[in-house]
Amino acid sequence: MITLGNFNEVSRLRHGFFTRAGGVSDGLYASKNCGFGSADARENVARNRTICLQQMASPTAALITAHQVHSATVVTVTDAWAPDDAPRADALVTNRPGLALGVLAADCAPVLMADPKAGVVGAAHAGWKGALAGVVEATIGAMEALGARRSRLMAGIGPRIAQRSYEVGPEFKDRFTAADAGNAVHFSLAPAGDRQFFDLGAYIAARLLATGVTDVAVAPNDTMQEEARFFSYRRARLRGEPDYGRNLSAIVITD
């Protein structure tokens, strides 16, 4: 489990960006696959999610995740739901202690946020589509509706595909520069032709800073390259593998 310093300093918060190690799954999903959307055995996924809560020192918390669709849709959570009843959304917010908000990723960026004074937390799944659509800003807005203030927010961007591993075509860059010409700074030329490398983490951090959030921590990990620690959608596709595991990230207010 990876933690970020800004959250570690708050006693009423527990959080974690979980690695793939220490679970019960095998094969493509070895070993801590937390995604019910995979073809892994459901009992293995459920056990892995329980292990994550134990590692986060929140064994009695209710872990809640959404059916992620690469959107900017945010759900305010007041009660736990069963996995099969999960709404289609890519971010969750709550002010209820004991509700652990989780997001799943396998190259996309997990973003955890908290206003400890207001007792409000949020978790967002930010792939390029959701990030470009404004999932970070939508999450902040939903947290503010619960009493959070962006001037007090702490944000952590977890392990994700790094720029060196995220090669894209010119049409991809065009989407971003059409939205804001300044987004060009998050791209660099790749060795092959007109290909580019995209820095998803820096792009999300820039959007957070632009909202007025100043406490932003960024994990240095690369899910694509660190195979022993993380599942990766792109790595699985490059190998022609039929499926892939999902990395969990979660945050909870303890009281």
Per residue in 127-170, pLDDT tens? 999 999 999 999 999 999 999 999 999 999 999 999 999 999 99
74 closest CA partner among 109, 126, 14, 152: 126
What average pLDDT does the structure give for the chain?
A: 97
251 closest CA partner among 80, 86, 124, 107: 124
Alpha-carbon gap, residue 130 to 105, rounded angstroms: 12
Residue with tokens 């921590």: 217
- Structure-block tokens of residue 196: 């580019």
pLDDT above 90 for 5: no
- Domains of the chain, with CATH numbers? 5-162+199-253 (3.60.140.10)
Side by side, the strands of the sheet bearing 247-253 are 13-17, 247-253, 99-105, 62-64
Of 22-31, 68-77, 117-126, 185-194, which gets the smallest average pLDDT?
A: 185-194
pLDDT above 90 for 193: no
Residues, the chain, total?
255
Q: With bands split at pLDDT 50, 70 and 90, how would you rate the model's confidence at 192? A: confident
235 closest CA partner among 139, 107, 91, 59: 107
Q: With bands split at pLDDT 50, 70 and 90, how would you rate the model's confidence at 119? A: very high
pLDDT above 90 for 195: yes
Half-sphere exposure of 241 (CA within 13 A, CB side): 17
Of 3-7, 60-64, 157-161, which gets the smallest average pLDDT?
A: 3-7
Alpha-carbon gap, residue 210 to 41, rounded angstroms: 42
Mean pLDDT of 47-62: 97
Provide the pLDDT for residue 255. Answer: 85
Mean pLDDT of 162-185: 98
